[in-house]
A and B are shown apart, each in its own frame.
Chain A
């Protein structure tokens, strides 16, 4: 069942909830009751002025009426279908499925997310087994000791009349090796025992930092002001559940936060953000601080108040995400390649050049976003070593009404047709045409 048909059902449901008669609502919006009846039974398309008027009379956002509260569920169903393309799910009927079976749809989405999380864990573990030098060394130690024990024990068991001196020597060797094996095994087990919580294990330090910030918030009040209440180390020590790598990432992030807070005090930032309508370049110029500092500080403003919601992404020169603060309508894949049309990645091709773009992701009810990005060299610059770049992008959920650049999350679940950045085909249908207004 296409989207346009569901709009009518939503109108009827809302009208009945509010105990408005069909004729009354039709009169309020200037159409005949019979025409409204056709709309409500999904036999006429609806859009434009009539949709706006009905939404107003029913006291609903147009997007909610047009897209339905199940829009997020539909998007999630499509993402689930994309992850199992070979199953041949009827993605053109996702909306119908979500509307008719919301419970089953939730189950499908929940299981797909669980599966994706488990796949991420497996990929992280596989990567760890393959490339982790610490693990490689630990396994080598265990296998070497086991080899020595096996070989020595085999001599002791299979050699009748073994010289007592050799016998004693081999016993001592086995004793020493068994102790080494115990130590090596314990160290290995401790290393593999990743921290766990209800959401499953986080394997990379970047994931741990993300989880840490989800729990503690992106605004750290205790690090603000000339004399902060806490130090980064005290905050990390109090957090618990972090591996050594996760602690390092959290300490680095909090240390950067403190340096930024010193460079741009919160009260000055909040006022400048209002004065310059959250334009990072204007704020940086007014406060005489680097643009990238302002991008990070704006993303760390307290939630609520007069400021729009703001997200942040930081990636390295290879495009790997180092930090992500998602907001509604802004998401990048934590692992794997993202959509290269995001200014975050484009900034890497022109280091030092600020980039701004208004973007929108697929989905009629998702907000338009203003993105500000810049890539800069990290650490000291030297004649002898190539610079290492990182890009930072602020995402503001408040965009001017200008044409928006369509961007996606990743190609497989992006329905944009004829995209020059497409790496692989999408399994989603192309966006449906805009609904046609009634007479």
Chain B
């Protein structure tokens, strides 16, 4: 059975491109664009890993990550954070909250694939 990735991102063309490359690589990709309801969507699925954008409408990726790490049902799911802000303090914040990896936009498709595989398959 294909592993499930939940992509939480609000930029439609990034969603389409990442979904395409992951699907082609054999992953089942679910997408979600609203920060407010993202944590509920995670609990509903739950996915094998999450790609989470920091700047989302409704709620920031940092807040969502904090919720996920505080919930026993979701605390161990690998989370790769995406952000356009590559500042050290954002990276530190992500890692302190329990992110599994932090990736700065613009990234390459190869990087995304490599880290998704690494986080789920070890």
Taken residue by residue from 141 to 160, chain A's Cβ proximity to chain B (1 for < 8 Å, 0 otherwise) reads as: 00111111011101100110
A-contacting residues, B13-33, CB 8 Å: 13-14, 16-18, 20-21, 24
Q: Give, as a whole number of angstroms, the nearest-CB distance from A294 to chain B.
A: 47
Say yes or no: A144-B20 contact (C-beta < 8 A), given A139-B84, A154-B108, A154-B109: no
Range, interface on chain A: 20 to 34
Contact A144 B11 (CB under 8 A): yes
B84 near A150: Cβ-Cβ < 8 Å: no
Closest to B10 in A: A144
Evaluate contact between A177 and B105: CB separation under 8 angstroms: no
8 A Cβ contacts from A109-152 to B: 136, 139-140, 143-148, 150-152
Whether B21 contacts A147 by the Cβ 8 Å rule is no
Q: Report the minimum CB–CB distance from B56 to chain A (whole Å).
A: 11
Known contacts A140-B55, A144-B11, A155-B21, A173 near B16 by CB under 8 Å: yes
Q: Which of A140, A146, A150, A151 has the most CB of B within 10 A?
A: A151
Question: Contact at B20–A176, with CB atoms within 8 Å?
Answer: no
A179 to B32, CA, bound (A): 25
Q: Bound state CA distance, A147 and B17, in angstroms? A: 10
B105 x A147 contact (CB < 8 A)? yes
Nearest opposing residue in chain A for B112, CB measure: A151
The smallest beta-carbon distance between B82 and chain A, in angstroms, is 8
Q: Given A151, A158, A159, which contacts B14 in the complex, CB threshold below 8 Å?
A: A151
Cross-interface CB contact of B109 among A136, A144, A155, A169, cutoff 8 Å: A155
- Distance (Å) between the CB of B103 and the closest chain A CB? 10
Whether A155 lies near B17 (C-beta < 8 A) is yes
Docked pose: A154 CA to B13 CA in angstroms: 13
User: Hey, what's the 0/1 contact readout for B94-114 against A, CB within 8 Å counting as 1?
Assistant: 000000000001111100100
CA distance A173 to B18 in the complex (A): 13
Interface flags for A21-50 (1: CB within 8 Å of B; 0: not) read 000000000000000000000000000000
Judged by a CB distance under 8 angstroms, whether B85 is at the interface is: yes
| B60 → chain A closest CB, angstroms | 12
- Please report the C-alpha to C-alpha distance between residue A287 and residue B106 in the assembled complex, in whole angstroms: 65
Tell me whether chain A's interface is mostly helix, strand or loop, or mixed: helix
A275-317 CB mask vs B (1 if < 8 Å, else 0) is: 0000000000000000000000000000000000000000000
| A148, B11: Cα distance in complex, Å | 8
A152 touching B106 by the CB < 8 A rule?
no
- Residue A383, interface by CB 8 Å: no
Q: Which residues from 36 to 54 on chain B have a C-beta closer than 8 Å to any C-beta of chain A?
A: none
Q: Closest Cβ of chain B: how far from A142's Cβ, in Å?
A: 8
Distance of A136 Cα from B24 Cα, bound (Å):
34
Residue from the set B24, B109, B112 with the largest chain A CB neighbour count within 10 Å? B109
A158 CA to B109 CA in the complex, in Å? 10
> A143-B84, A144-B84, A146-B105 are contacts. A151–B11 as well, Cβ < 8 Å?
no
Within A151-204, the residues touching B (CB, 8 Å) are 151-152, 154-155, 158-159, 166, 169-170, 173, 176-177
List 12 A-B pairs, Cβ < 8 Å.
A136-B85, A140-B84, A143-B106, A144-B84, A148-B11, A148-B14, A151-B17, A151-B18, A151-B21, A155-B17, A155-B20, A169-B16
- For the A-B complex with A136-B85, A151-B18, A154-B17 known, give 10 more contacts whose Cβ atoms are closer than 8 Å: A139-B84, A146-B105, A147-B11, A152-B13, A152-B17, A155-B21, A155-B109, A173-B16, A173-B17, A176-B13
Q: B residues bordering A, Cβ < 8 Å?
A: 11, 13-14, 16-18, 20-21, 24, 55, 84-85, 105-109, 112
